[in-house]
Each structure stands twice: as C-alpha cells, then as structure tokens.
C-alpha cells in the first residue's frame, strides 16, 4: 500500500512545530543544567514522556528542589546525548530500550531484573538509574480488526508469511533500531514490502493506520488510542522487545537524598495500568500533560494540594 508522501511530509512538519509549541519544548540551545541547584528535566517527543517528565519535575518541586523542564526534544538519539552532555539532568527512560541503545543491540537479556542490572553496568560514568517502576511500555505492532481477521493475525509470528505484501509505518529510527525492522527480520523473518517513516506513535501514525495508508503501525503498548480505535495489538510472541520498565535516569551531580527519595516514590506507585490511563487522558481526552501528571501525584499522595 502506498502512502501519499508529499502530504505526509507537510503534516509531520506542521505537527512537529505545533507539538513543540504546545509542550513548551526547548530546542537544544545553550547550556543546560544543574547550575544554581536547578534540575533540568527533559523528555522525548511523545505524550507519555511529557506526562512522566512533568511528574518528575512536580514531585521534585514539592520537596523544595528547583526544576526546569525541556520537553519534546526528540528521539533517544537526540535526548540521551543531551543528558550525557549536561544540557538536561534528568530523563524518564525505559530499561530495555536504553540498554539496547548503550550496548549497540548486543544485549541478550529480556527479563526485568537482569535488564536493569545490565543497564546499570552500561550507563556512562556520571549517570545513575534510580529505582524502576513496575510500569512497562514496549514497542508494539497494531493492525486494524479487518486486517487481523483477513490474515488471521494475533502474533508477530503470524505476520511473517504475509508481511511481504504489506506496508509498515513507524518513526524513522524504526528502520535501524534492533527492536525495529532489523530485529523483526532476524527474530521473526518478517520483511515488509514498504517502510513508511511517520511520527513517534502519534497522530500521523494513528491516521495512517486508521485510513489504511499503512497496513501495520508501530505503537506503544500503553497507548489509550489502541482500545479507543479497537485496533488489534499483536503479541510479541518471541520477546523481541526486552523488559521496558520506566526508570528515572539522572546526572550524579544533580542527585541528593531528597531528589532520590522523591523520584523513587513516584516509581513505587506507577503501574502499567496507571500509565495506560494517563496516556488515555492526554491522547483521547485531550488533557494537558502537566495537569494529568499533577492529578496523578495528588491522587497517590505524592504531592500536596
């Protein structure tokens, strides 16, 4: 299936401008952080990250730590180097995805504890992974119900015999990341007829799948849009994606007992069900990510009224 690329390019460009403005995102200009005791909290460029970053910032502010947010900065290939360079000091991350990024796709562990332990060993000097949450959000593949019915699709393995006649859409990095197209080919023997670069599991991707412009879409497993649109989330039956627990990664020179305690308390409460509901509030109910974060922290007793 062929995508209208010129129209798509214009939509993606407009979306990037609008979401950056709405999220209060800063371009990576100038120095970042930590000066004067300020913890600069960054995020990648999708709604869940905006909620998590706001959650971290608000939890720290509540215990008297001065914070600044630099949101919607881009993919991990942009935002993690910003953390390493000190342009930001704190970032919500995903254990397995970050491990894969740091280990160059060579890690073979998949279970939560081994993944977290391996991540701690791979982290660059000066960065610390605090306690991970129970909540996990993995890369997933979704199809329309009629596509699933036509091809009897329930798992990734079911895709292998039919993918050669299908298009898949996802963020540009899906083409090179080990959990993307290379891993799908290596682990499942899946090779799509066409890869269409879209946004990071956002509105452009949703529209492409819903309209039939792509047959398969890369999504995040905690997205509220999946249930809202009645899409079929395929099972990663050979565990291509490792454990993806939400974890705060922070510069060591920004760490204090107050900071560590506040962030670990957030992780202790956060479940996958919580995360799915928070995403729904932003994606489907169109609520502000900062307000959603504040409501969650208040509900869990992690910040005052």
Residue 25 has φ and ψ, to the nearest 5°, of -70, 145
CA–CA separation, 203 and 91 (whole Å): 23
Here the tokens at position 110 are: 């998949």
**Which whole-number Å values give the CA distances from 255 to 37, 39, 148, 219, 292, in the listed order?**
10, 9, 48, 33, 26
Which residue, among 138, 210, 226, 144, has the nearest Cα to 177 in the 3D structure? 138
**Residue 245 burial (C-beta neighbours within 10 Å; 0-12, 13-18, 19+):** buried
What is the reported pLDDT for 133? 98
Here the tokens at position 106 are: 């060579």
Per-residue b or e along 270-280, where b marks 16 or more CB atoms closer than 10 Å to that residue's CB: bebebbbebbb
Which residue, among 202, 215, 203, has the nearest Cα to 142 in the 3D structure? 215
CA–CA separation, 30 and 18 (whole Å): 22
Residues of the chain with CATH 3.40.190.10: 31-136+243-299
| The Cα angle at residue 72 between residues 291 and 24, in degrees rounded to 5 | 55
User: Taken in order 206, 201, 286, 15, is the CA torsion positive or negative?
Assistant: negative
CA–CA separation, 40 and 57 (whole Å): 8
Match 């682990």 to its residue by tokens.
Answer: 187
Q: Are strands 246-251 and 216-220 parallel, antiparallel or unpaired?
A: unpaired
What is the reported pLDDT for 25? 42
What is the reported pLDDT for 107? 87
In the β-sheet with 127-129, what is the strand arrangement from edge to edge?
67-70, 39-42, 90-94, 246-251, 127-129
Per-residue pLDDT of the chain (305 residues; tens, 9 = 90+): 434 444 444 444 444 434 443 434 444 443 344 445 899 999 999 999 999 999 999 999 999 999 999 999 999 999 999 999 999 999 999 999 999 999 987 888 999 999 999 999 999 999 999 999 999 999 999 999 999 999 999 999 999 999 999 999 999 999 999 899 999 999 999 999 999 999 999 999 999 999 999 999 999 999 999 999 999 999 999 999 999 999 999 999 999 999 999 999 999 999 999 999 999 999 999 999 999 999 999 999 999 87
Write down the CATH number for the domain with range 31-136+243-299: 3.40.190.10
Could you tell me where the beta strands, DSSP code E, fall in 198-257?
Answer: 216-220, 232-233, 246-251
What is the reported pLDDT for 105? 79
Q: Is the pTM of this model over 0.75?
A: yes
Angle between helices 289-299 and 272-283 (to 10 degrees): 140
What is the reported pLDDT for 62? 97
Residues of the chain with CATH 3.40.190.120: 139-233
Count CB neighbours of 239 within 10 A: 12
Q: Confirm or reject CATH 3.40.190.120 for domain 139-233, answering yes or no.
A: yes
Instruction: Decide: 192 and 168 in contact? Cβ < 8 Å.
Output: yes
């Amino acid at each position: 299936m062929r995508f209208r690329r010129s129209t798509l390019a214009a939509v993606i460009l407009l979306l990037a401008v609008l979401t950056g403005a709405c999220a209060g995102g800063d371009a990576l200009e100038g120095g970042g952080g930590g000066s004067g005791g300020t913890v600069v909290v960054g995020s990648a460029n999708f709604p869940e990250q905006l909620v998590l970053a706001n959650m971290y910032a608000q939890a720290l502010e509540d215990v008297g730590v001065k914070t600044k947010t630099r949101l919607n900065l881009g993919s991990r290939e942009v935002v993690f180097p910003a953390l390493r360079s000190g342009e930001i000091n704190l970032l919500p991350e995903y254990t397995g995805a970050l491990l894969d990024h740091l280990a160059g796709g060579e890690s073979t562990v998949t279970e939560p504890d081994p993944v977290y332990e391996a991540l701690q060993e791979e982290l660059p000097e000066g960065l610390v992974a605090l306690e991970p949450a129970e909540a996990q959000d993995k890369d997933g593949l979704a199809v329309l119900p009629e596509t699933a019915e036509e091809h009897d699709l329930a798992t990734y393995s079911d895709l292998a015999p039919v993918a050669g006649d299908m298009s898949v859409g996802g963020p540009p990095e899906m083409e090179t990341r080990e959990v993307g197209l290379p891993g799908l080919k290596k682990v499942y023997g899946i090779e799509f007829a066409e890869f269409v670069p879209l946004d990071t599991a956002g509105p452009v991707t949703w529209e492409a799948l819903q309209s039939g412009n792509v047959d398969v879409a890369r999504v995040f497993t905690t997205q509220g849009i999946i249930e809202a649109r009645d899409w079929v989330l395929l099972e990663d039956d050979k565990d291509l994606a490792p454990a993806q627990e939400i974890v705060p990664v922070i510069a060591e020179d920004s760490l204090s007992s107050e900071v560590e305690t506040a962030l670990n308390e957030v992780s202790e409460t956060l479940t996958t069900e919580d995360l799915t509901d928070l995403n729904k509030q932003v994606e489907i109910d169109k609520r502000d990510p900062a307000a959603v974060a504040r409501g969650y922290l208040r509900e869990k007793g992690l910040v005052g009224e």
